[in-house]
Amino acid sequence: MVVGDVTTGTDVLVVGAGPAGYVAAIRAGQLDLDVTLVEKDAYGGTCLNYGCIPSKALITATDVAHDAGNAEEMGIHADPAVDMAGMVSWKDDVVDQLTGGVEKLCKANGVNLLEGTATFADENTVRISHSGEGQGSETLEFEHAIVATGSRPIEIPNFSYDDEPVLSSKDALDLESVPESLVVVGAGYIGMELASVFAKLGTDVTVVEMLDSVLPGYDDDLKRPVKQRANDLDIEFEFGYTASEWEENGDGIRVTAEPAEQAATDGGAEAVEADTLELDAEKVLVAVGRQPVSDTLGLEEAGVETDDRGFIETDSRARTNVDHIFAVGDVAGEPMLAHKGSAEGQVAAEVIAGEPAAIDHQAMPAVVFTDPEIATVGMTESEAEDAGFETVTGEFPLRASGRALTMDESDGFVKIVAEEEEGYVLGAGIVAPEASELVAELGLAIELGATLEDVASTVHAHPTLSESVMEAAENALGHAIHTLNR
């Protein structure tokens, strides 16, 4: 690259170095393509720097402190002192290690790294603006482009993230002291994960949600143990409300919440009759979802189309409506998952290289890192039936798992959905400690076209949580050993 008026070129331009973009760039480099990766902020994107990784680091750290302070039943008596600044520093060290690794991997695979902001000038050209005084800009021509610009937190009216008491998820992960009280707006996966983190650190937490339950979109039986654990942590919930404004109130703030106009059930809208709420707190965390970063790229100059929510529409090969421009990750639509973006990034690179690759979402897992964790993959029972399958299900409760009992974590279960006649595994739902790890076996089963008999006849080590997967398959077949069969 030459800064100034000189135009340079590349085979593949990748815009955005998050899990979708850097994976696409590395894979393209492995396929002997000339690749340029442009990133305006930090290698690793939101996931590694401000999302998946730092949040899981804080979840792990707070679990250590909370578990140690609540283990009297095991004969352990402790009162851990939490140094929040030290915890955040450790989290930052984890992030630095991973983001530094991403940069090294890109370079090792021949990826040209360029810091700056890319804006399309036309369907074969971008302008790269460099931050910093006197850095200027340059022009880059490309044969193929992969847009991987990710997403950002949604702001709601009257709650600007520029205001000091108003926190985005990114802000919440960098607090160096534990707030005495916190209002969380939104009971989705981000809101519930962070509500649990701060409750375990001793914060008085109130969650405001416009619907009538936590984790919209997940089956009631999966989220019931999560809601119960939140109740045990003294998290308060105000369902059927939307936060409307905030004001300073002494040393803290007062958040006003109005009844949702069309609140309040996952399955349909019903009016909620309730009074306005006034909630006092030290901070307010807004976690109502994320939106694609597509409005700053000049996509219209390249002829790339977006839908009414700003997502770039793509086909099964990650192509946009412009044949040589691809989109992957959050900017390409739901589900907004890092691993989904990485899979799409690999597909885009392989398609550009002439490989017969395509995206397959049938075995795409989703995980919520609440307490306990929730993980799903494939179809739910109702989805399978709607698709025309005759189904059979099997379930194994963790209260019958020796390993779960030895961990003092017996809330939850593993559920498998299968096609009845041949037993092909169609989907699974898990609520359990380490559900994020357990779901991989069932994702593999779906990908390979495995049957209930395949899973049940695979010997699982004892005592492990993974035995619950085997027992759920056996239960669907009618011969589970450690639970009553249906």
Give residue-wise pLDDT tens across range 221-233.
999 999 999 999 9
Domain residues of the chain, as ranges?
Answer: 7-153+291-353, 166-288, 365-477
CATH code 3.50.50.60 for 166-288: yes
Find the catalytic residue in 361, 460, 462, 482: 462
**Tens digit of each residue's pLDDT (9 = 90 or more) over 416-472:** 999 999 999 999 999 999 999 999 999 999 999 999 999 999 999 999 999 999 999
Confidence tier at 130 by pLDDT (50, 70, 90) = confident
**Tens digit of each residue's pLDDT (9 = 90 or more) over 56-71:** 999 999 999 999 999 9
Q: Flag whether pLDDT at 1 surpasses 60.
A: no
Q: Is 66 a catalytic residue?
A: no
Confidence tier at 263 by pLDDT (50, 70, 90) = very low
**Within this chain, domains 7-153+291-353 and 166-288 share the same CATH topology:** yes
Per cent of the chain over pLDDT 90 is 93
CATH architecture of 365-477: 2-Layer Sandwich (3.30)
Confidence tier at 5 by pLDDT (50, 70, 90) = low
pLDDT of residue 134: 55
pLDDT of residue 270: 47
Confidence tier at 137 by pLDDT (50, 70, 90) = confident
**Tens digit of each residue's pLDDT (9 = 90 or more) over 426-440:** 999 999 999 999 999
pTM exceeds cut of 0.85: yes
Per cent of the chain over pLDDT 70 is 95
CATH architecture of 7-153+291-353: 3-Layer(bba) Sandwich (3.50)
Q: What is the 3-state secondary structure (H, E, C) of the chain?
A: CCCCCCEEEEEEEEECCCHHHHHHHHHHHHCCCCEEEEECCCCCHHHHHHCHHHHHHHHHHHHHHHHHHCCHHHCCCCCCCCCHHHHHHHHHHHHHHHHHHHHHHHHHCCCEEEECEEEEEECCEEEEECCCCCCCEEEEEEEEEEECCCEEECCECCECCCCCCEECHHHHCCCCCCCCEEEEECCCHHHHHHHHHHHHCCCEEEEEECCCCCCCCCCHHHHHHHHHHHHHCCCEEEECEEEEEEEEECCEEEEEEEECCCCECCCCECCCCCCCEEEEECEEEECCCEEECCCCCCHHHHCCCECCCCCECCCCCCECCCCCEEECHHHHCCCCCHHHHHHHHHHHHHHHCCCCCCCCCCCCCEEECCCCEEEEEECCHHHHHHCCCCEEEEEEEHHHCHHHHHCCCCCCEEEEEEECCCCEEEEEEEEECCHHHHHHHHHHHHHHCCEHHHHHCCCCCCCCCCHHHHHHHHHHHCCCCCCCCC
